[in-house]
Amino acid sequence: MDFDSGLVLSIPIAIFTLRWFRRFMSTETRLPQWDNLLKRGWLLFIVFFVIGKLFSVKEGVIEDWYLFFVFGGIVAALVQMRDYRPARTLLLAVVPVMLCFLLSLLIESIAPSLMERFEDLVGSSWVFTIIWLGTFTIYARNQQKSIETERLKREAELAKTQLIVGHNAELERLVEARTAELNGQKEELEQALTNLQAAQNRLIQSEKMASLGELTAGIAHEIQNPLNFVNNFAEVSVELVDELKEELERPELDTDYIKELADNLIQSQQKIHHHGRRADAIVKAMLQHSRSSTDERHSIDVNALCDEYLRLSYHGLRAKDKEFNAELLTQFDPTVGRITAAGQEIGRVMLNLFNNAFYSVSEKKKQQPATGTYMPLVQVFTKRLDGQVEIRVRDNGLGIPQAVIDKIYQPFFTTKPTGEGTGLGLSLSYDIITQGHGGTLAVNTVEQEFAEFIITLPASDRISVS
């Protein structure tokens, strides 16, 4: 019996089918142990070839059983991959083919005549199974494409998620680094602020000490005047007593002259008493100021306060510069009366404005030629307005440049040379007037002509007209 033609035809069909199945189901990765067996499917051909030669099997039966076992191996592999949806669909496609194979082989082996009788039915069954196989194979292929699409989508989403996670991790790292940098900058700024506040406190203290020094110099000069009178009249009193003694020792007394000496002595003692009381009043006034709290409000006489600090400032500058002279002009409105305010704070403001005014006219005088006709002038005006008290301090000095007019109330800003001003006087004065007393502090100036500072303080029902 010749088996060559049938087996030779069966071998390519089997090898093609196995190769297609292995690639379709990716058995190399999904089922590697079965993949090795399917790759060696050609060995089964040798077995059947030998069996056919030894037992002289009828032609056509060997190739049918060979293909049956090939499809059986495919079914076995599909059973192993039943968790995979396309494998289950392909298994459903192959089972009818296997049943048709098995039924045909059994009928042909047991009752060949019956096979010839129902040849058309068997042929139709084969056509149906082939169509079934093709349909479900296509369906399995579509399932496989859908699963592959889903897999690629999941991989893309996973890659995107990983990218986002990586990006978030990088952002978190950058945020942590930036946070650490900002914390470092914050600590540096806090330290710088602490140092700045300490420096500011030192400058404020220096400004207060400078103001205290100027105030002390003015007070000393004020006290010096009555003390000079006391000393002078005391010397005159001693001379009058000596003359009186000499006259009393003469044999003939001139009673008229003695009375004249006595009258002069009385006048001298009265002068000593008057100027002594004046010095005592100055000391008591300063003691009263020293007992006043900077935040304590009390009734103050605006005109008297302005006049007092004007003289203190002027004499303080005179104590430092004996050659300095200035004309002082005051116009006090008697209806201004008294207001409730922190007298020591308002006095500090007035002293600062007067000091600036005298400094400005002094510097302008120094710039004038020796033969110049310039005469320093500082003016103070008070006026009662509707619900307010106005104080104007005007000088005919250097004025303020327009370029810096907006900076004069800034802390530490000064137009004076280094060492002659801290730049806190006007800043503190502005705070005292505006924040401490609810008033205003404005300036009107023309460079090289004049500067005028205008203070307004609330009066309303707190004024008591004297």
Q: Are 59 and 6 in contact (CB under 8 A)?
A: yes
Q: The tokens of 436 are what?
A: 């401490």
Residue 384, beta-bridge partner list: 389
CA distance from start to end of the chain:
153
Q: What integer is the mean pLDDT of 96-109?
A: 71
What are the extents of the domains in the chain?
Answer: 4-164, 297-466
Q: Are 47 and 31 in contact (CB under 8 A)?
A: no
Q: Give the DSSP H/E element, type plus range, for residue 457.
A: strand 450-458
pLDDT at res. 391: 96
Residue 386 zone, left/alpha/beta (φ > 0; ψ -120 to 50; rest)? beta
Distance CA 443, CA 429 (A): 13
Q: Architecture of 297-466 per CATH?
A: 2-Layer Sandwich (3.30)
Tell me which of 245 and 391 has the higher pLDDT. 391
Tell me which of 280 and 421 has the higher pLDDT. 280
Highest mean pLDDT pick, 74-78, 83-87, 435-439 = 435-439
pLDDT at res. 465: 36
pLDDT at res. 49: 58
Q: What integer is the mean pLDDT of 274-283?
A: 75
Q: What integer is the mean pLDDT of 369-396?
A: 89
Q: For the CA atoms of 408, 414, 420, 421, what is the dihedral angle to 10 degrees?
A: 60
| Tens-place pLDDT, residues 433-461 | 998 889 999 999 999 899 999 999 998 54
Q: What integer is the mean pLDDT of 232-259?
A: 82
> 3-state class of 444 per DSSP?
strand
∠88-93-96 over CA atoms, to 5°?
A: 125
Compute the Cα dihedral for 283, 284, 285, 288 and give only its sign.
Answer: positive
pLDDT at res. 136: 76
Distance CA 304, CA 438 (A): 21
List the alpha helices (DSSP H) in 40-118: 42-55, 61-80, 85-110, 112-117
Confidence of residue 333 (pLDDT cuts 50, 70, 90): very high
Residue 297 zone, left/alpha/beta (φ > 0; ψ -120 to 50; rest)? beta
The pLDDT of residue 9 is above 50: yes
Residue 192: CA atoms inside 13 Å, Cβ hemisphere, count? 6
At position 38, the amino acid (one-letter code) is L
Distance CA 31, CA 84 (A): 11
> 3-state class of 366 per DSSP?
helix
Highest mean pLDDT pick, 93-97, 285-289, 323-327, 390-394 = 390-394
Q: What integer is the mean pLDDT of 63-86?
A: 73
Least confident of 118-122, 228-232, 305-309, 351-355: 118-122
At position 112, the amino acid (one-letter code) is P
Q: Give the DSSP H/E element, type plus range, for residue 279.
A: helix 255-291
pLDDT at res. 446: 92
Q: Give the DSSP H/E element, type plus range, for residue 134.
A: helix 119-248
Measure Cα distances from 321 to 251, 316, 359, 398 in Å: 55, 9, 11, 19
In the chain, the percentage of residues whose pLDDT exceeds 70 is: 74
Least confident of 34-48, 152-166, 356-370, 384-398: 34-48
**Size (the chain), residues:** 466
Q: What integer is the mean pLDDT of 318-322?
A: 78
